[in-house]
Chain A
Amino acid sequence: NAGVTQTPKFRILKIGQSMTLQCTQDMNHNYMYWYRQDPGMGLKLIYYSVGAGITDKGEVPNGYNVSRSTTEDFPLRLELAAPSQTSVYFCASSYTGATNYGYTFGSGTRLTVV
């Protein structure tokens, strides 16, 4: 049981480049989330999805896009990368919302934009 798998683990992008951060889960969780983690800032929600075909913005969605075509996959797209997007990105999933079961997080993608 792999849980939540994120790829790649590390990436360096040049300003203006684009990339997709991959996230897949094998727990049949309905809810999936993308967070970014910056030092001293905690975890900020970028986008989330409550099921296949349904996505919604979180606190910091600008510069990002998501899609949810299947229950398992929730890729995050960065268009026109900027230095402000340098961060560690975490994908998470949960069974239903944040109730008894909590979130299962992936191990993160460390992105540097230069």
Chain B
Amino acid sequence: QQQVKQSPQSLIVQKGGISIINCAYENTAFDYFPWYQQFPGKGPALLIAIRPDVSEKKEGRFTISFNKSAKQFSLHIMDSQPGDSATYFCAASMMVGSRLTFGEGTQLTVNP
């Protein structure tokens, strides 16, 4: 019930391409879905987040798409850049006083 499944485990994209990372959750009580970005040797940092009252949220080149009926959400990185190379984690929680459950992570490599 608490799992968040993330795919793919690794992703290689050419500069300028679109990177897509997918997550699926089981617990229908989840209603907060953030994405975290982690560079080597650093802790994860909040990138973008969405709540289920909207189907899409965009911040610059980063977009979250949310499908409540399918219990899935995804991160799209447009015009991917080598500086986007990092590990990305999706996560989910209930809003009030709850802990984040993280996906397994996706290691993104953007080739120049």
Contacts and interface: CB of A to CB of B under 8 A. Distances in A.
Interface of A: 4, 33, 35, 40-45, 48, 50, 58, 90, 92, 96-100, 102-103, 105-108
A43 B97 CA distance: 19
7 contacts: A40-B105, A42-B102, A45-B100, A90-B43, A102-B46, A107-B43, A108-B42
Interface of B: 6, 9, 32, 34, 36, 41-46, 49, 89, 91, 93, 95-105
A33 B103 contact: no
A47 to B, nearest CB: 10
A101 to B, nearest CB: 8
Contact of A108 (B43, B93, B100): B43
B99 A41 contact: no
Contact of A98 (B34, B41, B89, B104): B34
Contact of A107 (B41, B89, B93, B104): B41
A59 to B, nearest CB: 8
A45 to B, nearest CB: 6
Contacts of B99: 33, 45, 48, 58, 97-98
Contacts of B101: 45
> What 10 A-B pairs come out closest when comparing CB atoms?
A105-B43, A102-B46, A43-B102, A98-B93, A42-B104, A42-B102, A97-B97, A98-B100, A105-B44, A42-B105
A106 B43 CA distance: 6
Nearest to A99: B95
A73 to B, nearest CB: 17
A107 B9 CA distance: 22
